[in-house]
Structure 1
Amino acid sequence: MKECIFCTLPGTKIFLENELALAFFDKYPVSEGHVLIVTKRHISNIFEATAEEMASIGNLLQRVKAELDEKYHPDGYNVGANTGPASGQTIFHLHVHVIPRYQGDAGTVRWHT
């Protein structure tokens, strides 16, 4: 079985962390400041998270936003977690995207028709 890249992330890449989750900058960012928040326990998706893990993710989400606001001054955010292949999930370890958005970048999580 292939090793999970989020379970073997070198500590030097960690941006913020708490007891149950950690945050780091996305290797392939959608925009400047794109961060991933992952659980320390290997679980596939958000529906497998315990209440405590969800609280830890929420705590980091607030801390990440404060840091990104100070450093990048975005105009908005997309926050989300893909669950399952049909949603576009390609790494099967729970991760929440925190994507800063900037005026004029046409950022969205939906297709426009």
Structure 2
Amino acid sequence: MTKRKILEKDKTVTGFNVGINIGKDAGQTIMHCHIHLIPRRNGDVAEPQGGIRNVIPRKERY
């Protein structure tokens, strides 16, 4: 889904993170270009600094 379609469908989305896994050791399971567009919302985490680390429970402090 494109950024525009996400924003049209869900008005609570106020930002995005972009994630790319490159290589098996980085979590890539299918070896092709694959980009994750992660919608974010105001208040979805207490402290959004650090990007996607705060989206994954118990992984924000490492």
With normalisation by structure 1, the TM-score equals 0.38
Identity across the alignment (%): 43
2:43 corresponds to: 104
Equivalence map 1:13-24=2 (5 Å): none
RMSD: 2.0
2:56 corresponds to: none
Q: What amino acid is the match of 1:98?
A: L
Shift of 1:88: 1.6
Regions of 4+ moved over 6 Å:
none
- Structure 2: gaps spanning 5 or more residues: 54-58
SS of structure 2 residue aligned to 1:83: coil
With normalisation by structure 2, the TM-score equals 0.62
State how many pairs are aligned: 51
